[in-house]
Structure 1
C-alpha cells in the first residue's frame, strides 16, 4: 500500500472505490460504436468507389482510439482507477506507467479526426475557392504539428522518461506546469479548429445549386464540429489534474472520461455526413437500387455525356451530350449522391431524359 496523503491518518483515507469497470465499459462502448460507423462509412464509399483521404483519416482515428482503449483497459485491471493508497508499489508503478503511455494515442487521434473532417470539406469545394482550400490545408498541417508536440512533450518532460512512473530514480524533470500550460494551448487550438471547420461550410454551401432544405441539411451535417468543440471545452477544467503527482491514479479519472467522450463525439460527428448515402438508400429511399452500380458517372436514357462543375453548380452538374437527337422534356432532374436539383433545358445538348443520377466523385470534386 502506498503512503497516505500528507497530514492524514489511516482512518482518514478516502474509501477504497474502483472506477475502472465504468471507465472500461465506456471506452469500449465508444470504440465499438465508432468502429461500426466507420465500417458503414467505408461500405457506403466503396459502393460508389469514392474512398478518400477523409475515410482513411477516420479509420486511423478509430485505430488510435482503440489502442488507447486497450491501454486503459489494462491500466484499470491493475487498479489504475483506484486511490493510490490502496495499491501495492508494483500496481502503482504499472498503473501510472500505462496511464502515461495511453495519452499519446488519445492525443493524436484528435489530429487524425479533425484532418478527416477537413478532407471531407475539401470534397465540396470548387475550383474558385483558393482561400478556403488553404485554410483547410493549414488546419490539417498545424493540427498534426500541435498534437504531435503534445505527444512528444508527454515523454520528454522527464529524462529518463520512465521517471514519470518511477519517482525514486535519479532524473531531471520539467515543472509539471509546462505540460499543463501546453495542454491548455492544445485544447484551445483544437477548439478553434473545430469551430473553423464547422463555420467554413456555410461560406460556400449557400452557393450550391440545391434546394433550400438540402442546403440547410448539408450545412448542419458539416457543422457538427460545434458539438466536439463543446466537449473539448468541458474537458479543459480537468486538465490541471494531469499535473498532479499525488494520487495520480484517482485524479486522472476525470480527464480520461472527458478525453474519451470528446474523441467519441468527434468520431460520430465526422462519420455522420458520409452515412447519409446509406440513409437515403435504405431509410428515406431517395436513391434507388442503381446507386451502387453507377459509381462515377451519371446514366441517362440513351445519352452519353460528361459533367463538370464549379462552386455555383455544386453537386448538380451541367451536362453536355453531343450525340443525342431525340427531343424531350424541358428539364432534367439530377440526383447527386442524395442531393437533387432541377436543371433548365439546354437546347441541343440533352433530350428525352427524365432522371440523371451522379454518385461518387467526378472531375475535380467528390461528394459526401
Structure 2
C-alpha cells in the first residue's frame, strides 16, 4: 500500500486544473449570456461560437478525466502495473489523439468568437484584416491538429506503434504544432490591439476610451497561455509523454478558458457600468422633510412660456418650486395674459452611462 502511495502521479493535478478552468470559464460565459438577457438582446454569431468552444472544452476535459482514471499522468511502467498489462496504453494514446484535436478546436473557435465580435465594429481594411486573421488562424491550427493523425500511415499506428506502417519524423508534427501555437499567440496580440485603432477615433473622453480599449484587450492573456503551451509541445517527442504531457494539456485547456473569459469581459463591463449608473440615480428620502433628493446628476425644468400670439416670452432653467414665478416673468402687472407652458425635464448623463453606451454600441449592437 505504501509503495502505491509513493508512485509519481500527475493525474490529480491535471484533473484539478482542467476542471477549475472549465468552471471559471463557465461562470464568465454564463454572466455574458445573462447580461445579454438583461439588456433584451438576442445571441449573435460570436455568442454561439463561444458557447460551442466551451462545450468542446467540456468534452475534452471529460475525456482527460477518463484518461487519468486509466493512469494518464503516471510513468508507463506504473500504468502497466496498475492495469495488470500494457493493453491499456493504446487506449490512452487513442483518447489522447482525440483530446488533442478537441483542444485545438476549442482554442481556435474561442479566438474566432472574439474576432467575429471585432467584425461588427470594424470596416474597410481593418475588417479585411480581421477576416485574414480568422481564416489563417483556423487553417493553421486545424491543420496542426489533423497532422497528428496524418503523420502515420495507417493512422492507427499513431496510438498503436506496433501496427505495420510508416510515420514521419516526430519533429515534423512537433515543429508545425509550435508554429501554429506561436501564430495563434501573435494573432491574439493582434486582435487585442485592433480595438484601439477603432476606439481612438470615437468621440469619447480619454478615460472612457482607455476603459473600453482595455476591456477589449484582455486577449493578451490568451496569448500568454498560448506561448506557455508552446514551451510544452516538445514533450510530444519525449519517451515519457504519459507523465510529462500533463502540463501541455493543462495549458491547452487554459488557453481556451482564458480566451472565453477575455471575450466575456467587455460585455460584463457594460453590465457593471449600467448597474453603477443605476445605483447613482437612486433617490433617497430626506430625513428633514421627507422629500426626495437626487444623489447625483443635474436635474431641473426648462420652462417656456408662450403668449397668446405664440411668441416666446421667457426661456429659463428653474427649479420645481420656481415654476410659478417663471410663468409670470415678463407679464405686465394688472394684465391677464393667456399663456401656454411647455416644460422639459432633463438630467445629465453620467460618465458611467456614457462609457456603457459607447461599449454597448461597439461590442453588442445587433447585426442589421
Name the TM-score, length of structure 2 as normaliser.
0.73
Cα offset for 1:334?
Answer: 6.0
1:29 paired to 2:26: no
211, 221, 235: which one aligns with 2:215: 221
Name the TM-score, length of structure 1 as normaliser.
0.73
What does 1:61-140 align with in structure 2 at a 5 Å threshold? 61-88=53-80, 89-125=86-122, 129-140=123-134
Instruction: Report what 2:145 is aligned to.
Output: 151
Structure 1 residues 88-111: Cα deviation after superposition (integer angstroms, max 9, x where no partner): 202322222212210011011121
Structure that is richer in helix per residue:
2
Cα offset for 1:136?
Answer: 1.0
1:264 paired to 2:261: no
Q: Structure 1 residues 86 and 203, CA, compared in 2 at 3 Å: closer, same or farther? A: same
| DSSP-derived class of the 1:39 partner | helix
Q: Structure 1 residues 196 and 79, CA, compared in 2 at 3 Å: closer, same or farther? A: same
- Could you tell me how far apart the structure 2 residues matched to 1:44 and 1:31 are? 20
Q: Structure 1 residues 122 and 288, CA, compared in 2 at 3 Å: closer, same or farther? A: farther
Instruction: Report what 2:354 is aligned to.
Output: 340
Cα offset for 1:339?
Answer: 4.5
- Could you tell me how far apart the structure 2 residues matched to 1:124 and 1:332 are? 30
Q: Structure 1 residues 328 and 118, CA, compared in 2 at 3 Å: closer, same or farther? A: same
Cα offset for 1:283?
Answer: 5.5
User: CA RMSD for the aligned pairs?
Assistant: 3.0
Structure 2's unaligned 5+ residue stretches are: 1-5, 81-85, 283-340
- Could you tell me how far apart the structure 2 residues matched to 1:359 and 1:180 are? 41
* Counterpart contact for 1:180–1:242, Cα < 8 Å: yes
Is the radius of gyration larger for structure 1 or structure 2?
2
9, 30, 36: which one aligns with 1:18: 9
- Could you tell me how far apart the structure 2 residues matched to 1:154 and 1:59 are? 26
* Counterpart contact for 2:277–2:353, Cα < 8 Å: no
